[in-house]
Amino acid sequence: MSSESRARIMARVRSSCAGNDAATIERELAGLGVAPAAQAPHEDSCVTFMVNVLRNQGTLDVAADRSTAVKLIGNYLYQHYRSHRLVAGNDPRLAAMPWRDGGVLPRFGEIEEGEQIALSYARWGLAETGATVFFTGKRNPSRNNLLPEHHLVLVDADTLLPDLESLWREVNTAIANGSRPRGIHCIAGPSSTGDIEGQIVYGAHGPRAWHVILMGNVSPEQQEAARALHAGKTGPAPA
Amino acid sequence: MEQHSQQFKENAANALADAGGVAQRDILALFTPIMRDAAVAEFGPYEALRQHVKRVRQHSLDNLDYYLARFELEATNNGNQVHYADSADEMNSIVLDICQQHGARKVAKGKSMVTEETGLNDYLQRGGLQVMETDLGEYIVQQAGETPSHIVGPALHKTRDQIRELFLDKHDLGERELESISDLVGEARVVLRDHFLQAEVGIIGSNALIAENGYSMLVTNEGNGDLCANLPNVLIICTTLDRVLPRAEDATAIQRLLVRSATGQPHTCYTSFYSGPRRAEDADGPLETHIILLDNHRTDILASDYSDMLRCIRCGSCLNHCPIFAATGGHAYGWVYPGPMGSVLTPLLTSLEASAALPNACTSCGRCAEVCPSAIPLPDMLRDLRHEQSVEKITPASWRQGLRLHAWLACRPGLYQFLTGIGIAVMHRIGRKKGGFRSLPLAGGWTSKRDFPSPQGKTFMQQYRQRSRSNEQ
């Protein structure tokens, strides 16, 4: 039934199309150029990323190194759950974190019933939208992104990308190298809904809170610029 | 979905008689354009983006045979099973077959206007399946036994009190207050979480299909679509063939336009791309994935003068800016797609006869075309549909005769101006004391709701000539 429908549909589609050859179509497509991106709140991608994380109703910590990141994660867990436990994907980068420095007790695998907090290591951070980007897989089970109450995300500052086009250049390279991911998740905030009277509520189905830990060389000036822009003020230029 | 577009006028009258509903729609009609305008202003080169996407969408449709075949090839290579459905019934039948092959009992469904169009829920439920809508708005209207009133906010016609009563009635969870909107969202979260975890099949729609790599894009705020796409063992993507775009960058360009136009956000919380089923190295995800490409008259639209309509990205911006939609609400339109886009699409997907009132539900103000992110000339299409109705004699004979008389007169400007000059002068003389008319022959539709103001004495052309003469002197 479906193959007959396919033949009928394709015949109708063909009869309405220009009938150009592949080379002509690809040439015409290339001539269309690329879409303009949103104007960034700051010329520095790192500042823009931090501003957009905050605008996305995320919370943000900045850590100069892995030890500081673990301590910040430990503080977050204690502050919100009086706990030291979380679940994390089987990512070697997470396994190599100095967990003892923050007194954190991770369990590696997929989130299970009763577990409230998951930690993921983002493949990239995206300045244009303030999203953290993941390939689903063993290192990052999709459940860990979607089912916890609190989703903690580590992002390396040197993996920040300026816009969606640069993200797809990276993804296309991965696909060309035979690493096509089943799913690509661009997560830009806690789960939300405005379906009742247009009032925004966080924690519709997915995480109620989304906490980003940006790890790497981020100067105090950059952080101040981001917080000032988020507060609606013009921040000092980054160093 | 059963169509009630014939009753548009009665539906509209009922909607206007509901003071609470009118007030709620007025608020939405005030705020949604403000939010969209702010997002557009913040973006910067919005018009350049809009024109770029228009060109890309047009290029995709002009070469749909090429891109559809490319998408099918890539999606199949990614491990998907790609199906083509000529009609709504065929899509429903394919979905039921897949569910039955897997012995499924529970289906978790993300938001999909395409499945509203095909009436999938009823079909699957008749087949013995428990189908749960998981988008909060869709869940609310499903529990209420209603249909969506808006393509983006399906339950925006309901108040928190109505939803509270609904949940207290439908959820067997004992005594509770449910005082705030957060309480209501929290309760739906708990109820639906169990369903997500138990469903054997997930069904979602798609915001774009990418020909170059076979991925499908899903844009949501709640994350429910992603839960449907990742937790059940079988995933079915129900979409239409016009969603195909050449490149991944084109999908992201749509993303930039769609979200700003729909909700005034710069982006949604979740933007996801899915390529196919779980591989050996994956921790989770569906074991089997199907993509169903529905036609249901879209190839007829492609071949018609209305092919621009296939550029629609279902943002709902034309609804939010339409004075008719704001006044009547979405249910008045009597089918799946309301507002200006619905008034064009419904006659094309069903029939001009069954949707006769919809192309006339327009004030020709042009706001829909101004805000349409795909630059679809909606008012022109509505006018063309009205013309078709007249040609096919669907329009009442008295109306057609009146239009013929008007056209005959309008083609004779001298006679037209002479007769209107007499009419205006007579009306001015009769009505100048009272300032207006409570009733007028041939204008009962107007004067039944409000007085017709008395003309000031001269027609526009008479005043224009008079002023031109004075300027010359």
Per-residue pLDDT in tens (0 to 9) along chain B, 473 residues: 789 999 999 999 999 999 999 999 999 999 999 999 999 999 999 999 999 999 999 999 999 999 999 999 999 999 999 999 999 999 999 999 999 999 999 999 999 999 999 999 999 999 999 999 999 999 999 999 999 999 999 999 999 999 999 999 999 999 999 999 999 999 999 999 999 999 999 999 999 999 999 999 999 999 999 999 999 999 999 999 999 999 999 999 999 999 999 999 999 999 999 999 999 989 999 999 999 999 999 999 999 999 999 999 999 999 999 999 999 999 999 999 999 999 999 999 999 999 999 999 999 999 999 999 999 999 999 999 999 999 999 999 998 999 899 999 999 999 999 999 999 999 999 988 888 999 888 888 888 888 999 998 899 999 999 999 988 87
> Which of residues B250, B276, B299 is at a domain's end?
B299
Domain count for chain B: 2
- Arithmetic mean of pLDDT, A208-212: 98
Rounded to whole angstroms, the Cα distance separating A16 from A36 reads 30
CATH of the domain at B130: 3.40.50.10420
Residues of B in contact with A207 (CB under 8 A): 223
Alpha-carbon torsion angle B90, B95, B100, B106, nearest 10: -140
User: Could you tell me if residue B188 is inside a domain?
Assistant: yes
Interchain proximity A205–B85, CB inside 8 Å: no
Chain B contacts in chain A segment 138-157 (CB below 8 A) = 138, 140-143, 145-147
Residue A235's pLDDT band (cuts 50, 70, 90): very low
Neighbours of B128 (CB within 10 A): 11
d(CA B116, CA A103): 51
pLDDT at A1 exceeding the cut of 70: no
Domains contained in chain A, CATH given: 40-230 (3.40.50.10420)
pLDDT tens, residue by residue, A12-35: 999 999 899 999 999 999 999 989
Give the β-pairing of B216-220 and B130-133.
Answer: unpaired
User: Does residue B23 sit within a domain?
Assistant: no
Q: A43-94, pLDDT tens digit by residue?
A: 999 999 999 999 999 999 999 999 999 999 999 999 999 999 999 999 999 9
Residue B335 lies in a domain: no
| Best A195, A208, A210, A230 residue to mutate vs chain B (most B CBs within 10 Å) | A195
User: Which of B283, B299, B315 finishes a domain?
Assistant: B299
pLDDT score at A233: 55
Chain segment A116-148, per-residue pLDDT in tens? 999 999 999 999 999 999 999 999 999 999 999
The verdict on residue B312 lying in a domain is no
Q: What is the mean pLDDT of residues A162-180?
A: 95
- State whether B269 and B124 are in the same domain: yes
In a domain, B246, yes or no: yes
3-class secondary structure, A190: coil
- Please state, in angstroms and as integers, the Cα–Cα distance from residue A103 to each residue in A32, A75, A150, B89, B307, following that order: 54, 9, 18, 58, 62
Chain A residues within 8 A of B303 when measuring between CB atoms? 12, 15-16
- Is B227 in contact with B164 (CB distance < 8 Å)? no
Supply the range of the domain harboring residue B282: 45-299
B217 in any annotated domain: yes
Best CA proximity match to A30, nearest among B56, B213, B211: B56
Q: C-alpha B290: how far from its chain's center?
A: 25
Q: What's residue B442's pLDDT? A: 82
Radius of gyration of chain A (CA): 21
Tally of CA atoms within 13 A in the half-sphere of A94 that contains its CB:
26
Q: Is A54 on the interface with B (CB under 8 A)?
A: no
Query: What residues of chain A, 114 to 143, have a C-beta less than 8 Å from chain B?
Result: 129, 131, 136-138, 140-143
Q: How far apart are CA B57 and CA B247, in angstroms?
A: 11
Minimal Cβ distance to A165: which of B86, B140, B249: B249
Q: Does residue B190 share a domain with residue B71?
A: yes
CA separation for the pair A228, B66 (Å, rounded): 49
The answer to whether the beta carbons of residues A200 and A192 sit under 8 Å apart is yes
Q: In angstroms, what CA-CA distances link B238 with B61, B95, B114, B193, B231?
A: 19, 9, 7, 22, 17
Q: Which residue type is seen at B365?
A: C
Q: Does one domain contain both B290 and B428? A: no
User: In the listed set B299, B324, B345, which residue is the last one of a domain according to the structure?
Assistant: B299
Domain contains B18:
no
Do B127 and B245 fall within a single domain? yes
Q: Which two tokens stand for residue B170?
A: 């439908």
- Angle (CA) B34 B186 B197, round 5°: 115
Given the cut 0.90, state whether the ipTM is greater than it.
Answer: yes
The span from the CA of B110 to the CA of B220, in Å, is: 10
Per-residue tokens: B215? 């991925």
C-alpha B20, offset from chain centre: 23
